[in-house]
Each structure stands twice: as C-alpha cells, then as structure tokens.
Amino acid sequence: MVVSCNFFTLLLVLAFSVSLCFGNKNSGGYLFPQFYDHSCPRAQEIVRSVVAKAVAREARMAASLVRLHFHDCFVQGCDASLLLDSSGSIVSEKGSNPNKNSARGFEVIDEIKAALEKECPRTVSCADVLALAARDSTVLAGGPNWEVPLGRRDSLGASLSGSNNNIPAPNNTLQTIVTKFKLQGLDIVDLVALSGSHTIGLSRCTSFRQRLYNQTGNGLADSSLDEAYARQLRTRCPRSGGDNNLFPLDLVSPVKFDNYYFKNIVASKGLLNSDQVLFTQSVGTMILVKQYAESNELFFDNFAKAMVKMGNISPHTGVNGEVRKNCRKVN
Ligand code: HEM
Ligand SMILES: *[C@@H]1O[C@H](CO)[C@@H](O)[C@H](O)[C@H]1NC(C)=O
Ligand SMILES: *[C@@H]1O[C@H](CO)[C@@H](O)[C@H](O)[C@H]1NC(C)=O
C-alpha cells in the first residue's frame, strides 16, 4: 500500500512536471485529473456550473451530454471529432445514422466552451469538456461520481464512416455489440455497466419500432418484450409515422440515474433490442444484468470505472491535435 501510494505520488509529480515544462501540451501522452490545476484552476467548476444550469432547465440534458461523450470516444478516440460541423474537407459526424435527429446538447457544450475561453483562452480541450460534462451530468442525475482524467487534445478531422460503423445500432446482435466494444478495448463488464446509462434519457420510436411489429421478418412482435408494455408502446409508436415520438429508456425512473434500467430488463421491459439482448443472448451478460439489478452499489462502482476506461480511448496528446477555440471548427 505504502509502495503503491508513493509510486502514484511520483507519477503525479512527473505528470505535473511534464505539463509545466511543455506548456500544457501533455507530451507525457497520458491523462490525469490534475491536468488543469495550474493552467485553469476553475475549469472543472465552470463546466459543472454550466451543466447544472442546463440540466435545471431540462432534466433530459444530463442524458444527452452523457451520450455525446460515448459517441465521441467510439470514433477515433475521445477527441471531440463529434463536435465538428461540416466545412472544407470535414464531413460532420453529426449526420451519421446514430447521430442524425438524435444527438443533442451541442449548444450546452458551446456555452461551456465560451465560459472557459473567457477564463483561460485556448487551454481546455473540447474533448475534456465532453468527459467532464458526462461525469457532472451523471452526478446531477443521482449517479456515481469519479475523478476525470484530463489532458485530451482535439482532433483536426472527423470520421462519418467511423461514426456509422463503430457505434452500435439498437438492432445489432449482442455478438456485434460485444465486438464493437472489444474493438475499443472494452469488455462485457464495461458494456453492461455503460449500457446502464439508459437509466436516463429518451429514445425515438424509430429506434425500437421493429420490435413492436416485425422483429424477425415473420410479422410478429419481439417475444422477449413484455406484451402489455409492447401494447402500450404501440399506441404512440405506430407501424408508420411518429418516427420522432419520444419514450423513456427507463420507464420507471426516467430522469433518475439508478439501477431500474436493469430491473426493467429482468422484467422483459428493456426498450431497445440492444438493451434486452444483454439478458437473453448470453449467460455472461445476463449474470451481470442480474447483479446490477440487485446491487445499485456494484452498478455505480462498475459504471464509474467503465466511464474512465471509455474516456481513455486513444486520447490525442502531445503534438497530436490542438485545443480548439470553438468546438465546432478546427483553429
Ligand atoms: C451498447 C450499445 C448501445 C446502443 C445500441 C445504444 C443505442 C441508443 C439509442 C438507439 C438511443 C436512442 C436514440 C434516439 O432514438 O434518438 C440511445 C440513447 C441514449 N444512449 Fe445509448 N446505446 C448504447 C450504449 C450507450 C452507452 C455506452 C452510453 C453512455 C455511456 C449510452 C448513453 C445513452 C443515453 C444517455 C441516451 C439518451 C440520450 C437522450 O435522451 O438524449 N448508450 N442509445
Ligand atoms: C436494423 O435497422 C436498420 C435501420 O432501420 C435496417 O435498415 C436494418 O435492416 C435492420 N437490421 C436488421 C438485422 O433487422
Ligand atoms: C416483415 O418483414 C419482412 C422482411 O423484412 C417482410 O417481407 C414482411 O412483409 C413484413 N411483414 C409485415 C407484416 O410487415
């Protein structure tokens, strides 16, 4: 214990020196929570206050901001590539299948970034803003807290194809979803815990309609979906039309970050096919769903760890990338 403590302290001291010597370019190539302690001491406080204001205006914003970090990290790493608008050679990821008419919260990120630019210009990256906003949103919704490793730099480009291919679709098989997580270095413990962020937020009818009417092409509803719940969903998610009608991902406590998402799945009331298959398509993930349904503490613990792991996906550091002035465009 004493040894690992000292080793950790040493690492921190090294990390600090690196950030001081290299003018906050993070040439050390790794992330640590104290990254802005000297260059922008109020950075975390500023992010938290803007997020708190936005979530007070609209509770759903907490969910939308958590999702932005996920959709950023799964495409060329956590580098704010998601935030770039189309211009010149850049084709925005905002137009991809998972994001189109769906990803939201970009104005809140702009508001945070504007406040940070005022306090300490060209210092805090947009990728770090996404990571902090995801953590703050989780806490505000009643979920776990964790220290966010920082020092990511922003990309100089975006990848529409990466966004289409790397982010799982709601009708992917469990095997496909597991593979897409594995490609990012995330295992099934991470997958099931992170899916637990569907304890908050909303889904459009179009994301789960297939389950209500014609799951396997035989004209029948998904048999793993509770029949009464399916009937209820069909009233506002018709065979055609109503694509953008909204439904809570967690029907019991839609704005509270808790483990009802897992209890719902155990009761055959997962909204998305990708939620329910965690329980029906493999024993390994089924056991995890049951454990998280039984222990909020275990869920919170594993969620926080998995969020840090997801936030560490291929960060741009050192001379790679930049700190954008405006999250929507390269400098
Ligand atoms: C495991 C594979 C996943 C799939 C297939 C998936 C799919 C989806 C879909 C289809 C929606 C609804 C979008 C819409 O209809 O507009 C959604 C919403 C959401 N997802 Fe996921 N998701 C996955 C994992 C994750 C992860 C890892 C996170 C975060 C760590 C996350 C966070 C959210 C949140 C918070 C919402 C609600 C957003 C809002 O209300 O604005 N999802 N997801
Ligand atoms: C999944 O949904 C997409 C978009 O709605 C659709 O094009 C595709 O055929 C579906 N895939 C399966 C296997 O049902
Ligand atoms: C269900 O889907 C299959 C294959 O996509 C299609 O051939 C069939 O007509 C659909 N049935 C109904 C009732 O919509």
Which residues does residue 203 pair with via DSSP β-bridges, in sequence order? 247
Mean pLDDT calculated for residue range 199-215: 98
Whether residue 110 lies inside any domain: the answer is: yes
Return the best residue to mutate from 214, 218, 222, 234 for the ligand 3 pocket (most ligand atoms within 8 A of CB): 214
Show the tokens assigned to 39: 């260059």
- Average pLDDT, rounded, for the chain: 93
Separation of CA 19 and ligand 1 centre (Å): 35
Report in angstroms the alpha-carbon separations of 71 from 97, 100, 173, 231, 237.
11, 12, 19, 31, 25
Residues 159 and 178 in one domain: no
| Cα–Cα distance measured from residue 123 to residue 214, given in angstroms and rounded to the nearest whole number | 51
Token readout for 321 is 């990338």
For residue 319, the model assigns a pLDDT of: 81
The answer as to whether 326 is a domain residue is no
Amino acid (1-letter code) at residue 172:
N
324 inside domain: no
Angle at 251 between CA 249 and CA 252, to 5 degrees: 130
Q: Give yes or no for a contact between 31 and 150, defined as CB atoms under 8 angstroms apart.
A: yes
Residue 151 — pLDDT band, cuts 50, 70, 90?
very high
Instruction: Report which DSSP code applies to 199.
Output: G
Q: What is the DSSP string of 247-266?
A: EESSSS-TTS-STHHHHHHH
- Tell me the pLDDT band of 235, cut-offs 50, 70 and 90: very high
* Residue-level pLDDT at 252: 98
Residue 33 CA to residue 29 CA, distance in Å, equals: 14
Establish whether 316 is a catalytic residue: no
Q: What is the CA(221)–ligand 3 centre distance, in A?
A: 11
Whether 132 contacts 47, CB under 8 Å: yes
Q: Is 38 within any annotated ligand binding site? A: no
What is the DSSP pairing of strand 246-248 with strand 202-204? antiparallel
Q: Is the CB of 214 under 6 A from ligand 3?
A: yes
Domains: count for the chain: 2
pLDDT band at 305 (very low <50, low <70, confident <90, very high): very high
In the block, residue with structure tokens 């982010």 = 167
Q: Are both 35 and 124 inside the same structural domain?
A: yes
Distance of CA 4 to the CA centre of its chain: 31
Q: Give residue-wise pLDDT tens across range 167-198.
A: 999 999 999 999 999 999 999 999 999 999 99
Nearest partner of 82 among 28, 16, 158, 11, judged by Cα? 158
For residue 246, the surrounding DSSP H or E stretch is strand 246-248
The range of the structural domain enclosing residue 77 comes to 29-167
Q: How does residue 23 score in pLDDT terms, banded at 50, 70 and 90?
A: very low
Residues 158 and 208 in one domain: no
- 146 shares a domain with 94: yes
77 marked as binding residue = yes
Say whether 176 counts as a known binding-site residue: no
The reply to whether 184 and 162 lie within a common domain is no
- Mutational test site, ligand 1, from 97, 209, 249, 258, max ligand atoms within 8 Å of CB: 249
- CA-to-CA distance for 124 and 247, rounded, in angstroms? 35
Same domain, 149 and 278: no
Domain assignment present for residue 119? The answer is: yes
Q: Is residue 277 part of a domain?
A: yes
| Residue 318 binned pLDDT confidence (cut-offs 50, 70, 90) | confident
Going by alpha carbons, the residue nearest to atom 1 of ligand 2 is 171
Looking at residue 235, which CATH number applies to its domain?
1.10.420.10
- In CATH, what number is assigned to the domain containing residue 110? 1.10.520.10
Tell me: do 126 and 53 sit in the same domain.
yes
Q: With cut-offs at 50, 70 and 90, classify the pLDDT of residue 17.
A: very low
